[in-house]
Chains A and B, each alone.
Chain A
Amino acid sequence: MRDNRAWLGVLPVLLIVAFSAVIPLMTVVNYSVQDIFDANTRIFVGLDWYRETLRDPRLQSALLRQILFSSLILALEIPLGILVAKSLPRAGRSVGLWLVLLAIPLLIPWNVVGTIWQLFARPDIGLLGATLQNLGFDYNYTAGTLDAWLTLLAMDVWHWTSLVALLAFAGLTAIPDAYYQAARLDGASRWQIFRHVELPRLTSVLTIAVLLRLMDSFMIYTEPFVLTGGGPGNSTTFLSQYLTSMAVGQFDLGPAAAFSVLYFLVVLLLCWLFYTSVMRNRDAH
């Protein structure tokens, strides 16, 4: 009995978590089960909005696009980040300079990144767009779906590969010299050193990198909004943008709330799946 009073010590944390996470989330859950006409007119509709949301073809295609986008940027940024980290010098004066240079894209506000690329890729005056046009490519990201996707991917890779590179670099510098020395004496090739010495020691930082990039890219909004506005057509409309157009544009609070809850659960599920699979792999032996 006496020991149970210790729970009182947890109370402040519970209060903070309640106000910062649980209450806002439950408000959304509350909206998601009602049809709201105005402040005083609400009808309880149960899971109707959820059913409707799941059957919405526009949402389904946005989800597919989202999964494709996140998979592509992970497949690009993770190997590229490791490559960049591997080619950085480990010691010496230039290290600091390189790290600062790498960090610059991470420090730029997201809407500025979108604006930079919007100008950079413009087929009439942008350095990239105009160059491609003059080289004979019919490049126009506002008209061609493939062009829009390539531009978006390039932008995300430019913006976020540094994060993966910095994490991988931190992981690489934490490997003691003796590991490389022992591998050299064993006669291991550069690939074998990477595969058997470096990669196992990078697992934990790369897990963090994948998780961060997965969650961030799954919630991407600002950059495509500024760059393509979701177009051409709906070809670059991802989940966040569709949700915003639903909640803010059309003011469909109920469906938007149901969507939000599902969206949240999908992100949570993906992270959980990824994390447990990595941990299981690690403990398997």
Chain B
Amino acid sequence: MAELLLSNLSHSYPGAGAPTLSGLNLRIASGEAHALLGSSGAGKSTLLNLLSGLLPASPGQLLLGGQDLADQLPSSRGVAQVFQFPVLYEAMSVLGNLAFPLRVMGMSRRDCRARARQMAEQLEIDHLLERRPTRLGLFEKQLVAIGKALVRPDLSLVLLDEPLTAAEPARKWRLRHTLKSLQRESGATMIYVTHDQTEALTFADRISVMHEGGILQTGSPEQLINAPTHEHVGYFVGTPGMNFLDARIESNVCLVGDVPFGSLVVSPGVCRIGFRPEWAKLAGAPAQTHSGSDWIIAADVISQRVLGTHRGVPFGLVDATVAGARIVTRQPLDEVPSGRAQLHLDTVRAFRQGWVVDA
């Protein structure tokens, strides 16, 4: 119905040196909740503005439901956009704001009002309808802005550009749920831009991690956590992010600081191995020495931070060093020794020039 397809999309701002977006390829299914995750300057907002038509067409192709967006005016694309800070018509009431996009479409006054009221009820702002936006709090204003964006019945794509920056955490959570249910109801495809991975992970069906104008990886939250294809994805997604150690591969053995760590079927040479804090465990050193192929290595515990308890056992983060590099593990804290310890890994990934190399 309204599948979004970007092929080889690029964009350069006039006068800027490097392109802001280069060679993007992405397919977003109809009705999908998709998040664009990345730090500022990654090109997320530029991509949104290309989709909505606020930026002129660029090299590459943008297809929405099979139609080339480049031929269409911003207002006729069926695309709505919510900005980082609420943008409303300040001289109109909340009801007027919600009804405005419908009025422009030529809908009758009664239908406009009915639809606007319905939208307000869904967002739980129906008690604010007669107020002016200037009399509302930041969060309420943003709710109205979201309502104004979603009110049009002909929407096929909704773009949200860090819309919850203004909200406090508890309300963010609720609003995200409201957004998701609105999206499911309307069947519109939603693209949610954020630099907050928690927001992305809880909102989206799939996430694209953007970095320096390109997409590093697109996948479900589980895929990004369990199988990051790029160091940056590993580091950016997850709290705390992935640990990395400089390593060398010699005849399928991974050496860290010249000490054998584990076996890894990868071509010989320098690489970096990455592991998530929850894939690792620090424990006391047993008497016998290990074989060098079982992913155990000597470590020095620096400190631990309690995050909570799990089945009565304190649970948290442990900082340590391995071969001079800092690492963090997430584990039960009852068996963590102080000082000398051993690091056990369940899973590990190898990266070269940033990209994953193990199969």
Residue of B nearest to A196 (CB): B89
- Chain A residues 181 to 215 lying within 8 A of chain B, measured CB to CB, are 181-182, 184-189, 192, 196-197, 199-201
Q: Are B54 and A185 in contact (CB under 8 A)?
A: yes
Q: Are B75 and A196 in contact (CB under 8 A)?
A: no
Q: How far is the CA of A185 from the CA of B75 in the complex (A)?
A: 5
Q: Which residues of A contact B148 (CB under 8 A)?
A: 182, 186
- Chain B residues 100 to 146 lying within 8 A of chain A, measured CB to CB, are 100-101, 104-105, 130-132, 135, 145
Q: How far is the CA of A29 from the CA of B101 in the complex (A)?
A: 59
Q: How far is the CA of A178 from the CA of B142 in the complex (A)?
A: 13
Q: Are B91 and A196 in contact (CB under 8 A)?
A: yes
Interchain nearest-CB distance for A177 vs B (Å): 9
Does B81 belong to the interface (CB within 8 Å)? yes
Residue of B nearest to A179 (CB): B87
Q: Are B104 and A178 in contact (CB under 8 A)?
A: no
Q: How far is the CA of A178 from the CA of B159 in the complex (A)?
A: 14
Q: Are B54 and A181 in contact (CB under 8 A)?
A: yes
Does B189 belong to the interface (CB within 8 Å)? no
Q: Name the one of A179, A185, A197, A200 contacting B81, with C-beta atoms under 8 angstroms.
A: A185
Q: How far is the CA of A193 from the CA of B136 in the complex (A)?
A: 22
Q: Name the one of A176, A182, A187, A285 contacting B104, with C-beta atoms under 8 angstroms.
A: A187
Q: Which residues of B contact A186 (CB under 8 A)?
A: 75, 100-101, 104, 148
Does B210 belong to the interface (CB within 8 Å)? no
Q: How far is the CA of A182 from the CA of B89 in the complex (A)?
A: 10
Q: Are A185 and B74 in contact (CB under 8 A)?
A: yes
Q: Are B87 and A285 in contact (CB under 8 A)?
A: no
Residue of A nearest to B73 (CB): A187
Q: How far is the CA of A187 from the CA of B155 in the complex (A)?
A: 13
Interchain nearest-CB distance for A173 vs B (Å): 17
Q: How far is the CA of A239 from the CA of B104 in the complex (A)?
A: 49
Q: Name the one of A181, A184, A196, A200 contacting B100, with C-beta atoms under 8 angstroms.
A: A196
Q: Name the one of A182, A185, A285 contacting B93, with C-beta atoms under 8 angstroms.
A: A285
Q: Are B132 and A188 in contact (CB under 8 A)?
A: no
Residue of A nearest to B131 (CB): A285
Q: Which residues of A contact B105 (CB under 8 A)?
A: 187
A201-B90 contact in complex given A185-B52, A186-B104, C-beta closer than 8 Å? yes
Residue of B nearest to A197 (CB): B89
A181-B83 contact in complex given A200-B90, A285-B130, C-beta closer than 8 Å? yes
Residue of B nearest to A201 (CB): B90
Q: Name the one of A178, A187, A188, A200 contacting B91, with C-beta atoms under 8 angstroms.
A: A200
CB 8 Å contact bits of A247-283 with B (1 = contact, 0 = none): 0000000000000000000000000000000000000
**Mind listing 30 A-B residue pairs with CB under 8 Å?**
A178-B85, A178-B87, A179-B87, A181-B54, A181-B81, A181-B83, A181-B87, A182-B148, A184-B74, A185-B53, A185-B54, A185-B74, A185-B81, A186-B100, A186-B104, A186-B148, A187-B75, A187-B105, A188-B100, A188-B104, A189-B104, A192-B104, A196-B89, A196-B91, A196-B100, A197-B89, A199-B91, A201-B90, A285-B93, A285-B132
Chain A residues within 8 Å of B, Cβ to Cβ: 176, 178-179, 181-182, 184-189, 192, 196-197, 199-201, 285
